[in-house]
Amino acid sequence: MAKLEWRPGNMLYPIPAVMVTTRNKAGKDNVFTVAWTGIVCSDPVMVSISVRPSRFSYESIEETGEFVINLTTEELALATDYCGVRSGRDEDKFMKMNLTKEEATHVNVPMIKESPVNIECKVVEKRELGVHHMFLAEVVAVHADDQYMDDKEKFDLAAAKPLVYCHGEYYGMGKYLGKFGYSVKKK
């Protein structure tokens, strides 16, 4: 088996396809899809999203320093894709995709009720990295839908059926394979 060498690219896959919600200072809400997102630190809890400055919500995030990351599911695949290819400048994507707004508790931004997990974020730094600018943000609250909690009050990822993005395509998550440290756990 031979390896092909490609030009430099972002081949760190799969990654979560999330819908990010924003509200500008004038009170206009928007939802857009972001695939360039990730965990930055566990203490303090921080995440990042990378956004092109031409995106409609970029200005809202810059203005307010707040956003919500809404995890997606297989059931939300159509809305996730739609919100990534249509602009909030032209239409209300919440209404178009029948997404229900819920007010967040620590930021002045709506959450998506249909999302199994909503992560409220406050920007602490912006880095201009090229065509995308990265917003580093502190997580100020997490909301998990109780329908996905198991009998031990643990979030049941399999039941939520999360959506991931891989090289221009969406996929559902695979089956459970093991818990962190299972390779060295004593039997």
pLDDT tens digits along 26-56: 999 999 999 899 999 999 999 999 999 999 9
Residue 67 banded pLDDT, cuts 50, 70, 90:
very high
Say how far apart CA 20 and CA 68 lie, in whole Å. 6
Q: What's the whole-model pTM score?
A: 0.93
- Cβ pair 72, 163 in contact under 8 A: yes
Specify the CATH class of 15-172 in words.
mainly beta
Say how far apart CA 32 and CA 55 lie, in whole Å. 9
Cβ burial of 23 (10 Å; 0-12, 13-18, 19+) is buried
Residue 58 pLDDT > 80, yes or no?
Answer: yes
Average pLDDT of the residues in 142-160: 91
Domain boundaries, the chain: 15-172
- Cβ pair 67, 22 in contact under 8 A: yes
